[in-house]
Homo-oligomer: A and B are copies of this chain.
């Protein structure tokens, strides 16, 4: 799916080579010449082609920019970039009276934009750009405004400071996206997410070059958009928490200014309780309906046999078609359990009379009708993979979310497809797991035309367990790794380097206005209460940095009675996915046990982590009277204490070459089992690595006699033997 290359001076041609992608190489080249303290650029997503060219361009108060071509979006984005640089550097750049950047004046940075491109971004827009930074001058070239915006996002990340000042490292970049559809779904229904959440996340998307906001606007739990034709929809279906049409226009414009499309989703015929609160007569089952307050798959569904349904959808979708400029409208179509249809004799008769075969056939009939309606309003249909019924019109897009092979099946049947399976960021997986998912993985054996139908992917921020306060920490920075998967060449797969750059992207995202860091700190302060002393607060933060929210399906089992009203301010809501502290520990254990010939290589790092966790758990457990939410904190601190204790014992034995007994191992593994099952919806991600330490400590004298692979298997088997997983008696 690589876009056609930008027409560029010939010298670029020799750089279009994957071997130049390694960040290590770049580091070696760039850091030698930049001011003291400057390091390798950490652009995310990694550009398709990036090559250091020696030296650096100082950025001082006399920095200037000239712009040729492009439109007002480019001018505005450049103004935002320079303000952000001023805030980062403390410099004050010169200003033009009208705040516009001239096209003719000589300048340090020149931006050349061949044409404005599409006024509202759409699928297929040329997003490629090239940057050439030399020691006295820089150029950004793009074919379209959108391409230039992508280049500015790269420049934003290139500026770096050292004790001697600020600079752009001299570098040559030629870049363009691998996939044209790179989205983030935000569900504003399960928990309402107001305007400022959407805007700051659009800023984050722009920074990592995502280009589709998939706006999930209707659900069982809320109807979140104003309808002027059917005002009862938002009046009765939203608790007053919805976007006005004026706000929607503001969001669409805000997104377009950042080169981002907005694809709205109106989920039908299922996931539709909030519609049916206002229009129970359109449901397949008897009403009345209330806004759903719990999570799951619910029965309420439209009645596809009722012509009034299509009349309403025609009116409503016509209204929405005028509001959202994008050619695509997502109609959901997922998780229709069919119960109301099966229970309704008239509907079953309709299926028989029309020869629709079954509920699935009825769903297909419904989709065709909705497709006709959309077509009448100039829109194309997109839907979750369940819409892939016979006769689904060929211009529809299938959104693969659940089934293993739905992407391949859709492509084979001629549909364009967008992948979300593997990108469900609400599940609370590690960035590396999402990073490993490649939409193109299935393309072996596909024709070129088939491959081209794989449009890209979307991260999905389902909102059962997120509030406006912590949604940023669920989206960011992990989604930057997904953004890289969708933008950068498929050869960019170095997980360690991804994590190195992801941490820096996290800082850049905060600078861009995201709240994943500061809201987490404030949440911990609230959780800790007003009596905690700063030192203990620090220990509590260490503890919370070591844990992760439970996988969402496990959390739901632990908290089955949750409603939309439950405040999301507990320990699990403060904790963030993909603990860096745990990851670093796990890496050190892995290296120590299986990488080096004997353990001590990684021992210091492991001991530091375990010591910090032990100390944090001890300190927190001493604060029973200061911590008001004790019932959440106590079992977790105790579990962490056990884990740190077992780990420290194992580590000491490994360091001293002292063999621990099988009885000790069994006891410790049993204690760790206790720590694996908590009454609070968090987990200890370092726990499996501590199990390995415990197992290895009891068997270390066998290591020398085994092949590395046999040793690893042996330790893993011992650590995870079924008997070892029994709770302590």
Contact = CB atoms under 8 A, between A and B. Distances in A.
Interface in A165-219: 166, 196
A530 B518 contact: no
Contacts of A624: 36-37, 163
A294 to B, nearest CB: 12
Given A92-B566, A570-B90, A39 B522 contact: no
Contacts of A627: 37, 163
A87 B39 contact: no
Contacts of A508: 530
Contacts of A529: 161
Interface stretch (A62-70, A125-133, A143-151, A628-636): A628-636
A377 interface: no
Interface string A603-626: 000000000000000000000111
A267 to B, nearest CB: 25
B526 A522 contact: no
Nearest to A467: B87
Contacts of A166: 628
Given A90-B569, A563-B92, A569-B90, A625 B36 contact: yes
Nearest to A633: B163
A531 B37 contact: yes
B162 A625 contact: yes
B90 A632 contact: yes
Contacts of A88: 526, 569
Count of identical protomers in the assembly:
2
A504 interface: yes
A114 interface: no
A510 interface: yes
Interface residues of A, number: 51
Interface in A139-161: 160-161
Contact of A628 (B162, B510, B570): B162
Instruction: Tell me which of A88, A196, A519 has the highest count of chain B C-beta atoms within 10 A of its own C-beta.
Output: A88
B565 A37 contact: no
B90 A567 contact: yes
Given A90-B570, A163-B625, A522 B510 contact: yes
Contact of A629 (B161, B538, B626): B161
Given A525-B517, A565-B92, A628-B162, A530 B504 contact: yes
B525 A507 contact: yes
Nearest to A85: B567
A95 interface: yes
A569 B511 CA distance: 12
Nearest to A627: B163
A37 B160 CA distance: 48
Instruction: Tell me which of A88, A90, A166 has the highest count of chain B C-beta atoms within 10 A of its own C-beta.
Output: A90
A86 interface: yes
19 contacts: A37-B624, A37-B627, A42-B530, A86-B567, A86-B569, A87-B526, A90-B629, A92-B563, A92-B566, A92-B567, A99-B239, A161-B529, A161-B629, A163-B625, A508-B530, A510-B522, A517-B525, A518-B521, A538-B538
Given A36-B625, A86-B565, 17 more contacts: A37-B531, A37-B628, A42-B530, A90-B569, A91-B567, A92-B565, A92-B566, A92-B567, A161-B529, A161-B629, A163-B627, A163-B630, A196-B196, A508-B530, A510-B522, A510-B525, A517-B525
